[in-house]
Amino acid sequence: ELKVEQNPLFLSMQEGKNYTIYCNYSTTSDRLYWYRQDPGKSLESLFVLLSNGAVKQEGRLMASLDTKARLSTLHITAAVHDLSATYFCAVENSGYSTLTFGKGTMLLVSP
Amino acid sequence: DADVTQTPRNRITKTGKRIMLECSQTKGHDRMYWYRQDPGLGLRLIYYSFDVKDINKGEISDGYSVSRQAQAKFSLSLESAIPNQTALYFCATSDYGEQYFGPGTRLTVT
């Protein structure tokens, strides 16, 4: 059974600081997704990581995937208030084409 | 117009009532999913369907049923609602891999 663990579950940051969110998973998978959710809203796709070593960047966010370590990271550079949201990683269950989600990381960026 | 729509957006119902949540999509995807979200638990898969004739149970299917009326429509039913089914419910669609989510239905069972 695939298990997905995110760390930390809550992150309070100051604007301008850097930080990394970690996503570990328990069984082999080559596909991992990052989503963003604003309070009371739906999930918005941020990154699709489809192979070992994949790195994607959008603005102040950069995501990477190491399938051998079963680890993905979401790095935040020079955080701004608009990045405040909950971030989920989701890992594809090999052979089933379904996703298992982490519990989410609630990010709060304050001045 | 939104690619994935859900109705109703909010619903309050009483214990023991039957309720149906509906999902429609215009993305032309074959695959559709129902999730529930509870605070601190992330999203958990209830049912999924890879085409009209293919329905599969997810992690937490007990107490729920689904119907895939057409490629574009996937409904979730609670046959006899109970308070611990109070949650935010999301429908999603996909082609292969990346899933696209509807706006969600907030369901409260009293």
> For A81-110, what is each residue's pLDDT tens digit?
999 999 999 999 887 789 999 999 999 999
Residues above pLDDT 90, as percent of chain B: 91
The 10s digit of each residue's pLDDT in B35-80 is 999 988 889 999 999 999 999 999 999 999 999 999 999 999 999 9
Judging contacts by C-beta atoms under 8 Å, the chain B residues touching residue A102 are 42
Mean pLDDT of B11-29: 96
| Segment among B15-19, B33-37, B56-60, B95-99 with least mean pLDDT | B95-99
In chain B, % of residues over pLDDT 70: 98
Is some CB atom of chain B closer than 8 A to the CB atom of A43? yes
Amino acid at A21: I
For chain A, say whether B45 makes contact (Cβ under 8 Å). yes
Of B40, B42, B94, the CB nearest to A88: B42
> Looking at residue A88, what is its pLDDT?
97
Check residue B3 and give its pLDDT: 93
Question: Contact B77/B66 with Cβ under 8 angstroms?
Answer: yes
- Taking an 8 Å cut-off on Cβ atoms, the answer to whether B58 and A98 are in contact is yes
Helix, coil or strand: residue B83: helix
Residue of B nearest to A38 (CA): B103
**CA B72 vs CA A45, A106, B32, B35, B51: distances in Å:** 21, 33, 9, 17, 10
A25 touches chain B (CB under 8 A): no
Question: So what's the pLDDT on residue B1?
Answer: 61
Span B20-28, mean pLDDT? 96
